[in-house]
Chain A
Amino acid sequence: MSLRTPLGRVRGLGSAKDGVAHWWAQRITAVALLPLLLWFAAALAASAGMDHAAAKEWLSNPVSAILMILLIAAGFHHAQLGLQVVIEDYVHTEWLKITSIMAVKLAAVALAVAGVFSVLKIAFGG
């Protein structure tokens, strides 16, 4: 016999009140990162030690630019979700926990935007 109320069950949000959204986002970005990271590693290995002209040419290719932007988006989303869990597990001082999670999330957005902007600048001939 379950002690959960019918309303609680139909909402499916559990005791943390946010359901499995975090868990799902972590898996979806993980699946997205599998091909993206293999492509990225292969691309870097194939052009190891490239100079600026070569890097520019590589990122000017629309396919590279799009994959790179997807990698940045999925990567930073995945990273901040993971770091959030690490902080929640090890930081037990409430104010420090909240501010650390905020700092991680804000830094992730700022860095991702900086990365995407750089790719676009190179891709559009900056």
Chain B
Amino acid sequence: MAAPNRPLSPHLQIYKPQLTSLLSICHRMTGVWLAVGALLLVGWLVAAASGPESFAKYQDFHGSWFGRLLLLGWTFCLFYHLCNGVRHLFWDVGIGFEMTTLNRSGILVVLGSGALTLIAWIWGYSSMGAF
């Protein structure tokens, strides 16, 4: 097909950043990153099925500062995608399309996923006896 010589619509960087579009692309990016995380989850299960040595190696990596940083990122991505997914389910039944509601639910999703991440990690550290 020959490239049509037609005017193009304004590109992304022309628009003022909006909360709605930012959260939308974050939903996609967290989704892709969670798919990568699913690979790690399978690796963890395979390591557990292979025996104590391979499992200990796996746990050592995730216990390191770098491993914990990755897990912290994944925890937030998980809760963000989960909370914003619930937002999507409301849209699917036609609820929440007013501009004020959209911005409010967006902020709620960010705060909610932050809070859930915090709770999960405080819970995790307390079950390791850190407090």
Interface size on B, residues (CB 8 A): 36
Interface size on A, residues (CB 8 A): 40
Please report the C-alpha to C-alpha distance between residue A42 and residue B28 in the assembled complex, in whole angstroms.
24
Contact between chains at A121 and B28 (CB < 8 Å) = no
Q: Return chain A residues, CB-CB under 8 Å to B116.
A: 41
Q: Does A118 make an interface contact (CB < 8 A)?
A: yes
Please report the C-alpha to C-alpha distance between residue A63 and residue B51 in the assembled complex, in whole angstroms.
22
Q: Return chain B residues, CB-CB under 8 Å to A103.
A: none
B49: which of A41, A44, A122 is its contact (CB, 8 Å)?
A122
Q: Give the one of A30, A48, A59, A112 with max B CB within 10 A.
A: A48
Q: Give the one of B35, B116, B124 with max A CB within 10 A.
A: B35
CB distance from B107 to the nearest CB of A (A): 21
Q: Please, which residue of chain A has its CB at the minimum distance from the CB of B129?
A: A49
CB distance from B8 to the nearest CB of A (A): 15
CB distance from A76 to the nearest CB of B (A): 6
Please count the residue pairs between chain A and chain B whose beta carbons lie under 8 angstroms apart in the complex: 96
Q: Please, which residue of chain B has its CB at the minimum distance from the CB of A120?
A: B49
B128: which of A49, A55, A119 is its contact (CB, 8 Å)?
A49
Q: Return chain B residues, CB-CB under 8 Å to A44.
A: 124
Q: Does A22 make an interface contact (CB < 8 A)?
A: no
A52: which of B55, B88, B120, B127 is its contact (CB, 8 Å)?
B55
Contact between chains at B125 and A34 (CB < 8 Å) = no
Is chain A's interface secondary structure helix, strand, loop, or mixed overall?
Answer: helix
Q: Does A98 make an interface contact (CB < 8 A)?
A: no
Q: Does B99 make an interface contact (CB < 8 A)?
A: no
Q: Does A66 make an interface contact (CB < 8 A)?
A: no
Contact between chains at A118 and B35 (CB < 8 Å) = no
Residues of chain B from 17 to 44 with CB closer than 8 A to chain A in the complex: 28, 31-32, 34-35, 38-39, 41-42
Please report the C-alpha to C-alpha distance between residue A46 and residue B122 in the assembled complex, in whole angstroms.
10
Known: A82-B35, A122-B49. A111 touches B42 (CB 8 A): yes
Interface set of B (CB-CB < 8 Å, partner A): 28, 31-32, 34-35, 38-39, 41-42, 45-46, 48-49, 51-52, 55-56, 59, 63, 75, 78-79, 82, 85-86, 88-89, 92, 116, 120-121, 123-125, 127-128
Q: Nearest 7 CB-CB pairs, A to B?
A: A48-B124, A118-B49, A118-B45, A45-B123, A52-B52, A52-B55, A115-B42
